[in-house]
């Protein structure tokens, strides 16, 4: 359904991403940083933290950080 309707979901670095990927797949996820909103829930280092996650493959990281946002925003 996510792919058919081009639905994207924002994930965060503290999410159980292996579980999320199992059910949502890697083609529907983007990462949120909340830049510009420096409140207690923001994670200005989200990209760095995400790149350091060991339980996710490099190809999946590239999909979430580059390919999915590119498709979402039609870039």
Q: Each residue of 1-19: pLDDT tens digit?
A: 777 888 899 888 889 999 9
pLDDT at 37: 58
Residues 17-54 have pLDDT tens digits of 999 999 888 999 998 765 555 666 666 788 898 999 99
The DSSP call for residue 36 is: T
The DSSP call for residue 58 is: H
Give the Å distances, CA to CA, from 28 to 42, 46, 61: 22, 18, 12
Domain boundaries, the chain: 9-72
Residues 3-12, buried b or exposed e (16+ Cβ, 10 A)?
A: eeeeebeebe
Rounded Cα distance, 47 and 43, in Å: 9
pLDDT at 6: 86
């Amino acid at each position: 359904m996510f792919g058919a309707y081009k639905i994207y979901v924002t994930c965060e670095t503290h999410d159980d991403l292996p579980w999320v990927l199992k059910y949502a797949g890697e083609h529907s996820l983007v990462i949120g940083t909340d830049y510009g909103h420096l409140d207690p829930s923001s994670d200005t280092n989200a990209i760095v933290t995400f790149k350091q996650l060991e339980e996710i493959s490099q190809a999946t990281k590239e999909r979430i950080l580059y390919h999915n946002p590119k498709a979402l925003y039609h870039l």
